[in-house]
Amino acid sequence: MDHLEITFLKGLEHNQQKLLRVCSVYAEDAEDKKDLFQEVLINIWQSMASFEEKSSLSTWMFRVTLNVCLRQQMKQLKKRARFQKLDSMTIENISEDEPNQEEQERLIRLKRCIKKLNDADKAVTTLYLEDLSYKEISDITGLTENNVAVKVRRIKMKLLNCINKGS
């Protein structure tokens, strides 16, 4: 195995679940999430040679993932503009540990509220929920750390209002 393969596999081993969760925020259902994740892996693999180690591998992989997700989302929006979607959107089961009914309802409301955010807020929220530091979020999104902190506070308020409204 060469250096690129080893780096790719190592990065995937450490970040696979986090990258999958990012994909799930931008996917409409479980199948879309699988397709999106596959697209992310292809893009990461094809871009490995351009990884210059100016940031951590994880930060770089998150950046590629967000770019792929946003690009796919734009394609979907264009597609929807041409063809009206008739079937209703569903929210996949977001729990792996079978929370009680109340917790599951709160998780579903949270996911619905996150999906309503604009792309920039959705990206910051997703990275924040992955326990990335403001510095790491800043490196991935290109925002300043201070701007990330302000955005996180504002997003928390938006999400809290949205969840409390039961949307």
Does the structure show a pLDDT above 90 at 29?
no
Tell me which fold the domain 94-167 belongs to: Arc Repressor Mutant, subunit A (1.10.10)
What is the structure's pLDDT at 68?
94
Does the structure show a pLDDT above 80 at 31?
yes
CATH number for the region 1-92 comes to: 1.10.1740.10
Whole-number percent of the chain with pLDDT over 90: 51
Quote the pTM value: 0.64
Q: Where are the domains of the chain?
A: 1-92, 94-167
In single-letter form, the type of residue at position 161 comes to N
What gap in Å lies between CA 41 and CA 54, rounded to an integer? 20
Which of 91, 122, 137 minimizes the C-alpha distance to 22? Answer: 122
Does the structure show a pLDDT above 80 at 79?
no
Given a contact cutoff of 8 angstroms between Cβ atoms, the answer to whether 22 and 70 are in contact is: no
What is the structure's pLDDT at 98?
56
Number of Cβ atoms within 10 Å of the Cβ of 39? 16
Q: For Cα atoms 38, 115, 36, give the angle at the middle one, nearest 5 degrees.
A: 5
Does the structure show a pLDDT above 80 at 121?
yes
Calculate the average pLDDT of the chain.
Answer: 84
